[in-house]
Structure 1
Amino acid sequence: MTTLENRPGTALLVIDVQNGVVAGAHQRDAVVANIAVLVGRARQEKVPVVWVQHSGAELPKGSDNWRYVPELPRGAGEPLVEKEYGDSFEDTNLESVLADLKVGRLVVAGAQTDGCVRATLHGAFTRGYDAILVADAHTTEDLTEWGAPPPAQVISHTNLYWNFQTAPGREAGTVTTEEVNFA
């Protein structure tokens, strides 16, 4: 249903599951395990897996914090998009990577729910992509000290509002890891 012409494909977009991003994340191990299941299924079904990796002051390139968690090794030939902003499309080559793969539908997982995941979902949707959030495959850290709700509420609220996101000619919504359909 994407509004992008000649882009019938689906890709799994894995956002920022890096050591320094998920070290203190809510239900880190369960979320990483769900993402590993999604990656395995995508590879088995010949669906592209596109990795996004953030860098910045707290995640300097090449540092241990910047590296992806060891449970999620990138496969040979799987694209890596490096970014410096929340929206994975902003000032990156993500759009050209997806265009080359003829992808118009994204299945999204990763971290952080209230930052890069949310920004990328909105960025994708406004650019014409179908954007499906995997409800049990994204997480965030506890930012209550700065006035944010507890992580479980942030995740729950994001799942709630994304499930009701609408726009002409595009599909949004949430599914669980078990319910993901890459077709």
Structure 2
Amino acid sequence: MTTLPERPNTALLVIDVQNGVVAGSHNRDGVIANINTLLGRARAEGVPVVWVQHSDESLPQGSDAWQYVPELVREDTEPLVHKRYGDSFEDTELETVLAERGVGRLIVTGAQTDACIRSTLHGALVRGYDTTLVGDAHTTEDLTAYGAPPPEQVVAHTNLYWGFQKAPGRQGGTVETAEVSFGSTD
């Protein structure tokens, strides 16, 4: 369904799985393993993979904390989009990268669930993309000291509410890694 009918392709989006972002995150290793599974499948099926990398004052570009985790390896042909805001589309070249590849549907993975993942999901939907969240391939840190729910509840709630998101001509959805289809529907 997508409101971008001239863009029939699907892309796998890997957001901010950086050393300083996921160091203490909930189910870090399991999430990274699931993203690696999806990377292998996407590459084998010829599905575009797009990487997003955040930087700000606490995550300076070029620092060790800013680097992607060593367990995930980007291929040279896979675009890397640099961002400074939560929404991966905001003030970046992401839209151009996706348009060049004819992408109208996104499969979203990465970190952090309650920040950049949520912002990007909503940013994609309002820009016309069908946007599927992989429920066991995103994570967040424990922010209970600041009044947030425990990270496993943040992940579960995001999975729940994103499963019901839709807008005219486009929709969200949540699936597990094993259920991901890179075809037109899940």
Do Structure 1 and Structure 2 share a fold, with TM-score over 0.5? yes
**Paired position in structure 2 for 1:91:** 91
Q: Answer yes or no: is 1:133 the counterpart of 2:122.
A: no
**Paired position in structure 1 for 2:12:** 12
SS at match of 1:159: helix
Q: Answer yes or no: is 1:148 the counterpart of 2:148.
A: yes
**Whole-angstrom CA distance in 1 between matches of 2:21 and 2:143:** 13
Task: Give 1:172 shift.
Answer: 1.0
**Paired position in structure 1 for 2:168:** 168
- 1:121-162 deviation digits (Å, cap 9, x = unpaired): 000000000000000000000000001000000000000000
**Paired position in structure 2 for 1:46:** 46
The structure 1 segments of at least 4 consecutive aligned residues displaced by more than 2 Å after TM superposition are none
**Mean alpha-carbon deviation: is it higher for 165-174 or for 28-37?**
165-174
**Paired position in structure 1 for 2:55:** 55
Q: Aligned residues, how many? A: 183
**Mean alpha-carbon deviation: is it higher for 12-21 or for 167-176?**
167-176
Task: Give 1:171 shift.
Answer: 2.2
Task: Give 1:177 shift.
Answer: 0.2
Length-normalised TM-score, structure 1: 0.99
**Whole-angstrom CA distance in 2 between matches of 1:129 and 1:70:** 30
SS at match of 1:14: strand
Identity of aligned residues (%): 72
SS at match of 2:137: strand
RMSD, aligned CA:
0.5
In structure 1, list runs of 5 or more residues that go unmatched: none
Give the counterpart letter for 2:67 in structure 1.
R
Task: Give 1:5 shift.
Answer: 3.2
**Paired position in structure 2 for 1:34:** 34
In structure 2, list runs of 5 or more residues that go unmatched: none
**Paired position in structure 2 for 1:100:** 100
**Whole-angstrom CA distance in 1 between matches of 2:86 and 2:116:** 4
**Whole-angstrom CA distance in 2 between matches of 1:171 and 1:118:** 15
